[in-house]
């Protein structure tokens, strides 16, 4: 059940109507949202409800134990159990085949034959998100930053809240959990803001991302028949596609949450206008980057232990971030590239200072960052070394012409024209002032109507799931 589907529209309308018209108390509202969230998650595979419920139960109990115990060993054991359960489930479902396959390849290289067990298990949707969200709750209690909730319903719905369950944002208990601890009343202003966010998110997904996917998928599937220029355009288009796909989901999630009286964190803040990679990761997938910063980078020492250890910590964080995104070495290399870019930024600041950008300098800095980001996205999009090697071979071949007959046979010019149109529409909204989009009721109405019109005339129905559902 995806946001851009008829099933979700029916589900959300029924959930919204029941939530606000049945006169629930605060606990009743939470129970209703928990039931709705589990219906939503169970729509993919009801068996995985035991996984999310078990993860929630372990962290809820551990949080209570950590808060009441004065024995440091008991506290550490409780935290360790949570880490083993959450990260163990993540590794079992997502990384078991990757690790055993990599070990098999290594052993084959040294002449040792080994045939490991291969798991034919579906990856639970959103497991990377809700395990990290649950862990942040327990870790914050352990560090004394948070007091545990005594109400299991509040905690279970905090972990399973359906708008952000399967692809984030990865919410912190300090922000979202208190919102479940007070009664909600319908707020017309918040609801119109939510509808505006939903319309914008669906516009980015259905009009821009799904249109660009037609071009990107063809170029990455058959790079050999295209030119270097076409492959460069394919990489740049994917850079825009994944931004619109993921930020579109985040906008929808925030908008749906607003309809139910909740405020989720901003997950994207115009990342492609950043002038350096430090700034880029303050704007891109903010909930994940701050999670790694707070629970990995800072505990390792952050930037407090000298230049060498700062760069070491950056590499650890980004290699883990790459692996978090997918069980393939291409994702790890994607993380390594960002670690390299980040390290170069740190060295530049260390020895050359921060510096000031004029207008021209800023434009070139933004352009340079976008080229580097798009190059790294090639590794992310390829998924395996076979596709990557084929794409890179054409990218650096210097082949400057593509057979128009081949392009026309695949509707290349038509797809390309629609892709440019989608990017143009995105640009008009991207640089539109936020106060106009989400300010007054009139401006929200105009912007929502414009997004809806674009969806009706240019949207790609049935474009498929959001890219980050696989993570």
Q: Is residue 330 included in any domain, yes or no? A: no
Q: Which residues contact 177 (CB under 8 A, 6 or more apart)?
A: 137, 149, 154, 155, 158
Q: Which two tokens stand for residue 293?
A: 């910063």
Q: What's the average model confidence in pLDDT over 255-266? A: 94
Same domain for 148 and 51: yes
Rounded distance between C-alpha atoms, residue 396 and residue 45, angstroms = 43
State the average pLDDT for the chain: 85
Q: Which residue has the higher pLDDT, 402 or 373?
A: 373
Cα 197 to Cα 38, 253, 435, distances in angstroms: 24, 9, 13
The least confident of 11-25, 73-87, 346-360, 397-411 is 397-411
For 321-344, what is each residue's pLDDT tens digit? Answer: 999 988 888 999 999 999 999 999
The model's confidence at residue 5, banded by pLDDT at 50, 70 and 90, is confident
Q: Are residues 139 and 236 in the same domain?
A: no
363 and 405 fall within a common domain: yes
Give 232's Cβ-side CA count (13 Å radius).
13
Say if residue 408's pLDDT is above 50.
Answer: no
pLDDT(207) > 50: yes
Task: State yes or no: pLDDT of 119 exceeds 70.
Answer: no
**Which residues carry out catalysis?**
325
Q: Reply yes or no on whether the pLDDT at 237 is more than 70.
A: yes
Same domain, 103 and 124: yes
Reply yes or no on whether the pLDDT at 361 is more than 90.
no
Are 209 and 174 members of one domain? Answer: no
Q: 209 lies in a domain?
A: yes
In a domain, 18, yes or no: yes
Model pLDDT, residue 407 = 47
Pair 20, 133 in one domain: yes
Of the three residues 148, 183, 218, the one that is the final residue of a domain is: 183
In a domain, 347, yes or no: no
> Do residues 52 and 162 share a domain?
yes
Q: Is the pLDDT of residue 168 over 90?
A: no
* Per-residue pLDDT, 430: 67
Tell me the mean pLDDT in the region 36-46. 90
Q: Are residues 175 and 229 in the same domain?
A: no
Mean pLDDT, to the nearest integer, of 378-403? 82
Q: Is the domain of 167 the same as that of 203?
A: no
pLDDT in tens, 208-230: 888 888 888 888 988 888 888 88
Q: Is the model's pLDDT at 57 over the cut of 70? A: yes
pLDDT at 309 over 60: yes
Spatial neighbors of 245 by CB under 8 A, at least 6 apart, are: 204, 205, 209, 466, 467, 468
Q: What is the pLDDT of residue 291?
A: 94
Which among 131, 148, 183 is the end of a domain?
Answer: 183
In a domain, 200, yes or no: yes
Residues 386-409 have a mean pLDDT of 71
344 in a domain, yes or no? no
Domain boundary among 120, 148, 183: 183
Evaluate if residue 458 carries a pLDDT over 90: no
Q: Do residue 102 and residue 226 come from a single domain?
A: no
**What is the value of pTM for the model shown?**
0.89
Q: How many domains does the chain have?
A: 2
Same-domain check for residues 166 and 237: no
pLDDT at 145 over 50: yes
| Percent of the chain clearing pLDDT 90 (strictly above) | 42
The predicted structure's pLDDT at residue 355: 66
Q: Do residues 113 and 87 both lie within one domain?
A: yes
To the nearest 10°, the Cα dihedral for 149, 28, 253, 37?
A: 90
pLDDT above 80 (res 111): no
* Residue partners of 22: CB distance under 8 A and separation at least 6: 28, 32
Written as six digits, the tokens of 320 are 């883990």
Q: Which residue has the higher pLDDT, 96 or 376?
A: 376
Q: Is residue 213 domain-resident?
A: yes
Q: Is residue 288 part of a domain?
A: no
- 185 vs 117: CA distance, rounded Å: 53
- pLDDT score recorded for residue 229: 86
Domain that holds residue 161: 6-183
- Greater model confidence, 63 or 422: 63
Distance between terminal CA atoms of the chain? 16
Query: Where does the pLDDT of residue 40 fall: very low under 50, low under 70, confident under 90, or very high at 90 and above?
Result: very high
Tens-place pLDDT, residues 432-453? 666 556 677 788 888 888 888 8
What's the distance, CA 307 to chain centroid?
A: 30
């Amino acid at each position: 059940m995806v946001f851009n589907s008829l099933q979700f529209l029916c589900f959300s309308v029924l959930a919204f109507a029941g939530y606000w018209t049945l006169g629930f108390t605060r606990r009743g509202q939470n129970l209703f949202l928990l039931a709705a969230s589990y219906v939503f998650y169970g729509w993919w595979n009801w068996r995985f409800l035991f996984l999310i419920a078990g993860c929630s139960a372990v962290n809820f109990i551990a949080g209570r134990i950590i808060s009441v115990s004065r024995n440091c060993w008991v506290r550490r054991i409780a935290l360790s159990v949570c880490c083993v359960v959450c990260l163990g489930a993540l590794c079992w479902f997502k990384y078991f085949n990757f690790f055993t396959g990599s070990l098999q390849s290594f052993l084959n290289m040294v002449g040792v034959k080994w045939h490991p067990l291969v798991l034919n298990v579906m990856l639970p949707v959103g497991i990377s998100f809700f395990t990290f969200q649950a862990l942040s709750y327990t870790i914050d209690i352990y560090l004394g930053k948070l007091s545990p909730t005594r109400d299991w319903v509040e905690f279970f719905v905090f972990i399973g809240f359906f708008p952000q369950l399967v692809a984030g944002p990865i919410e912190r208990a300090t922000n979202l959990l208190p919102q479940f601890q007070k009664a909600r009343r319908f707020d017309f202003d918040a609801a119109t803001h939510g509808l505006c966010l939903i319309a914008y998110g669906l516009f980015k997904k259905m009009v821009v991302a799904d249109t660009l996917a037609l071009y990107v998928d063809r170029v990455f599937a058959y790079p050999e028949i295209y030119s270097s220029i076409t492959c460069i355009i394919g990489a740049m288009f994917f850079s825009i596609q994944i931004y619109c796909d993921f930020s579109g989901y985040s906008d929808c999630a925030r908008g749906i949450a607003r309809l139910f009286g909740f405020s989720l964190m901003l997950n994207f803040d115009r990342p492609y206008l950043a002038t350096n990679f430090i700034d880029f990761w303050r704007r891109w997938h903010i909930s994940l980057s701050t999670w790694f910063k707070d629970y990995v980078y800072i505990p390792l020492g952050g930037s407090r232990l000298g230049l060498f250890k700062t760069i070491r910590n950056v590499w650890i964080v980004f290699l883990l971030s790459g692996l978090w995104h997918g069980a393939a070495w291409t994702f790890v290399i994607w993380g390594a590239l960002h670690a390299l870019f980040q390290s170069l930024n740190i060295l530049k600041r260390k020895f050359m200072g921060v510096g000031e950008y004029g207008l021209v300098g800023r434009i070139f800095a933004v352009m340079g960052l976008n080229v580097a980001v798009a190059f790294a996205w090639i590794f992310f999009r390829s998924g395996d070394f076979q596709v990557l090697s084929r794409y890179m071979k054409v990218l650096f071949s210097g082949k400057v012409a593509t057979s128009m007959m081949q392009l026309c046979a695949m509707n290349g010019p038509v797809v390309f024209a629609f892709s440019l149109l989608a990017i143009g529409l995105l640009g008009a909204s991207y640089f539109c002032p936020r106060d106009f989009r989400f300010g007054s009721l009139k401006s929200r109405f105009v912007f929502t109507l414009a997004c809806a019109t674009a969806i009706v005339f240019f949207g790609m129905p049935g474009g498929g799931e959001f890219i980050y559902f696989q993570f």
